Structure 1
Amino acid sequence: MTHRIVLPTADRSLQTYTLRATPVPAQPAAGAFNRIAYSAAHVVADPLADNDPWLSCAVDWDKTIAYRQYLWSLGLGVAEAMDTAQRGMGLDWPTSLELIRRSLDAAKDVPGAIVASGCGTDHLDLDSVKSVDDVIRAYDTQMEAIEALGGKLIVMASRALARVAKGPEDYERVYGHILSQSAQPVVLHWLGEMFDPALAGYWGTSNVDAAMNTALDVIAAHPHKVDGIKISLLDKDKEIAMRRRLPAGVRMYTGDDFNYAELIAGDGYGNEITHGQSDALLGIFDAIAPAASTALQALAQGDEARFHAILAPTVPLSRHIFKAPTRFYKTGVVFMAWLNGHQDHFTMVGGQQSTRSLQHLAQLFRLADAANVLVKPELAVARMRTLTAMYGIEQA
């Protein structure tokens, strides 16, 4: 069946687009991957809640957990309550902790399911933070709550720390405390300012190489307490340089939504697998889950050519979803979930569905089709028609 839809073009005219409609099947994982692959999962808002979206969040828990079960069925892990879930950008700490609790409970019923949970300082009122000690106490609060649930920690970058730290030594003090207190090895998270402008100058300097040295010093002082580090700098050369300097056994989790395919495939550097390839902790894996799963299965079977053949078409889509202002990428992720039938509405926590234009979403639709990740083409067309009608576009 041919699928056609009228969409806006870059010059503000209208044009009929015909879908390829050749989706990668969403099939359960047939075997173990040879990379650890976390999808930073989004939350599904409750569209019928009587709340003020800019001021409070309402979550559809059933649909939110169902999406995590879907990711696990594809062999992907879940990085819970991260920025993809709008953490600190609509999702508050109490709701984040409830999300973590529900996700950990659901994982118990899924053999092999893995979950790691975001631990931060986002419950603090930034204007009330006066010292590094305030930051340490805030991290302790969230660490204790998550570990009491049996959760593994992803130590998220702290806006509060970026605000009050005087230099690299303050970061070393805070992270040294966290690592000395953690019950099991953690994943550190270095989120670039393109994802969150409040994190500019993280690790005590605006010089990325100097910041990297500080992060590596922290890891080197506590190598057995660090499972790995996720860096989201959208700079593959920086990631590779840091990966090669990690202590043996400490993993690099790519957070590079522009260059993930080649970083995961690796370059064969060194003897330790942790130096020559990246594992994954990616927001884009939420939007392209079937393709990510199928590609990772091919890689595990030694078929790198097929791995690249599947993932290469998804890269233009990912670069579009994560284009500047990058912090608005969550809108594209949730839009994809709506097009693919994982939720019945295009509504987001915090009203964030409004952060991207119809032009942006129309191009996202085209790129998703080209990437073979519109898993239900007829549904995707029907929902895109609904969206365009809201903008006054009449379909043929």
Structure 2
Amino acid sequence: MKIDLPRADGSVVPYTLGEPRAYPPPAAPATSRVAYAAAHVVADPLAGPEAVDWETTLAFRRHLWSYGLGVAEAMDTAQRGMGLNWAATRELIERSGAEARACGGRIVCGAGTDQLPPGPAPLNRIVAAYEEQLGVIEAAGGTPVLMASRQLAASARGPGDYAEVYGRLLGQVARPAVLHWLGPMFDPALEGYWGSADLDAAAESVLAILTEHAAKVDGIKVSLLDAGREVALRRRLPAGVRLFTGDDFNYPELIRGDDLGYSDALLGVFDPIAPAAAAALGALDGGDLESYEWILAPTVPLARHLFAAPTYYYKTGVVFLAWLAGHQAHFRMVGGLESARSVPHLVRLFELADRAGLLPDPELAVARMRAWLTVQG
């Protein structure tokens, strides 16, 4: 298959697609690592700007479960704080929880404070907002991920306020929760989370919380795009507390690990690369490190482009790839976020997805790409 692709300088060059890689669903989930894909939502293009196409959204979650991956629901990949309001998020958690129970899929769900107005709030109101969302998640059968809160970041006077809020929440969860350290490259409003813009000081603060409440913590998701910092934190975690990598740049090496340990995974990039991720984890189960590396190597350039600055717009690329791969019938997003990336950025994403073998139907991908380029002029 061939297609003419535009470049940023206005030129047009011919591009020939390669063959897609075959990644059949595994017989069973991988066992050597715990892996969740943070899943996107599919907008309903014929309804309002915050409307969700529930059938297609849930079908994509079944796709992820079919590859043995867990679903991380209602995380930032699902446009929390970027188009998806709390009412829709609540329905998403409830519907996905029911689907997970029906098919035996693993699911964790983000609990946040986004039903509150932007800006500072009293700590009691922040705790109450978290508690409301925790109640929805636990009723749906999910494991909670205590997402980083913009309101807490705007209100906390230091590490003690974080310790108070998280201590109150962890003291009441019905099952061990996952904490969430999302760096400012993913959300600038979270600068200085855990009480300091100094990441070494922030690490000490979160380690103190994890140590005090280790029995109520399953793990911590770390999204700082800094492999060395993640490994250093991982080696200091209390016994039984996992490090879930959220590093969409360095995930192959962090999941593989070293003689002193490894990271499990809770990744936005596992949404578009789910078949390859499942195959790589299966190879890791069998001790086949060469195949593990071979499978994931071509996904890394794709991931680094997908999450290029401004990183928080990676969701646009995730949905674009889902459309090209045939998982949904349109390239529209909640809140109109499909316009957040440039034409050259998405053209390059198309090429990198092809080179990674992740366009399962090249004819469909080319037809959609040509139609989209025509609309873009």
TM-score interval, normalised by the smaller of the two chains = over 0.9
The corresponding residue for 1:110 is: 103
Matched, 1:213 2:198: no
Measure how far apart 1:88 and its partner are. Answer: 1.2
The corresponding residue for 2:338 is: 353
Whole-angstrom CA distance in 2 between matches of 1:59 and 1:71: 18
The corresponding residue for 1:168 is: 159
After superposing the two structures, state which structure 1 stretch, 136-145 or 205-214, moved more: 136-145
Q: Cα deviations across residues 319-375 of structure 1 (Å, max 9, x unaligned)?
A: 000000000000000000000000000000010000001100000011111111111
Measure how far apart 1:24 and its partner are. Answer: 2.5
The corresponding residue for 2:41 is: 43
Q: Cα deviations across residues 158-181 of structure 1 (Å, max 9, x unaligned)?
A: 000000000010001111111101
After superposing the two structures, state which structure 1 stretch, 79-88 or 142-151, moved more: 142-151
Question: What letter corresponds to residue 278 of structure 2 in structure 1?
Answer: S
Whole-angstrom CA distance in 1 between matches of 2:131 and 2:11: 54
Number of residue equivalences: 376
Aligned partner of residue 286 in structure 1, secondary structure:
coil
The corresponding residue for 2:10 is: 12
Whole-angstrom CA distance in 1 between matches of 2:111 and 2:234: 23
Aligned partner of residue 284 in structure 1, secondary structure:
coil
Whole-angstrom CA distance in 1 between matches of 2:5 and 2:28: 40
Question: What letter corresponds to residue 20 of structure 2 in structure 1?
Answer: P
Whole-angstrom CA distance in 1 between matches of 2:359 and 2:191: 35
The corresponding residue for 2:112 is: 120
Q: Cα deviations across residues 253-277 of structure 1 (Å, max 9, x unaligned)?
A: 00000000010000121xxxxxx10
Q: Cα deviations across residues 146-200 of structure 1 (Å, max 9, x unaligned)?
A: 2122221010000000000000100011111111011100011100000001101
Measure how far apart 1:135 and its partner are. Answer: 1.0
The corresponding residue for 1:222 is: 213
Question: What letter corresponds to residue 94 of structure 1 in structure 2?
Answer: A
Aligned partner of residue 318 in structure 2, secondary structure:
helix
Whole-angstrom CA distance in 1 between matches of 2:302 and 2:309: 14
Aligned-pair RMSD on alpha carbons?
Answer: 1.0
Question: What letter corresponds to residue 74 of structure 2 in structure 1?
Answer: A
Structure 2 unaligned spans of 5+: none
Aligned partner of residue 72 in structure 1, secondary structure:
helix
Aligned partner of residue 175 in structure 2, secondary structure:
coil
The corresponding residue for 2:55 is: 62
Measure how far apart 1:94 and its partner are. Answer: 1.2
Matched, 1:390 2:375: yes
1:1-396 to structure 2, matched below 5 A, reads 3-20=1-18, 22-33=19-30, 34-49=32-47, 51=48, 53=49, 57-111=50-104, 113-127=105-119, 129-269=120-260, 276-392=261-377
Q: Cα deviations across residues 299-334 of structure 1 (Å, max 9, x unaligned)?
A: 111111101100010000000000000000000000
Whole-angstrom CA distance in 1 between matches of 2:259 and 2:362: 38
Measure how far apart 1:11 and its partner are. Answer: 2.7
- After superposing on structure 2, the runs of 4+ consecutive aligned residues of structure 1 that deviate more than 4 Å are none
Aligned partner of residue 344 in structure 1, secondary structure:
coil
Structure 1 unaligned spans of 5+: 270-275
The corresponding residue for 1:273 is: none
Measure how far apart 1:144 and its partner are. Answer: 1.7
Whole-angstrom CA distance in 1 between matches of 2:140 and 2:56: 22
Aligned partner of residue 287 in structure 1, secondary structure:
coil
Q: TM (normalized to structure 2)?
A: 0.98
- Asked whether the 8 Å contact 2:29–2:67 carries over to 1, the reply is no
Measure how far apart 1:13 and its partner are. Answer: 1.0
Measure how far apart 1:137 and its partner are. Answer: 1.4
Aligned partner of residue 336 in structure 1, secondary structure:
helix
- Asked whether the 8 Å contact 1:32–1:300 carries over to 2, the reply is no
- Asked whether the 8 Å contact 1:157–1:199 carries over to 2, the reply is yes
Q: Cα deviations across residues 42-84 of structure 1 (Å, max 9, x unaligned)?
A: 00000111x2x2xxx1000000000000000000100000000
Whole-angstrom CA distance in 2 between matches of 1:314 and 1:115: 24
- Asked whether the 8 Å contact 2:222–2:246 carries over to 1, the reply is yes
- Asked whether the 8 Å contact 1:140–1:178 carries over to 2, the reply is yes
Whole-angstrom CA distance in 2 between matches of 1:134 and 1:206: 24
Whole-angstrom CA distance in 1 between matches of 2:101 and 2:338: 32
Whole-angstrom CA distance in 1 between matches of 2:190 and 2:54: 30
Percent pairwise identity: 59
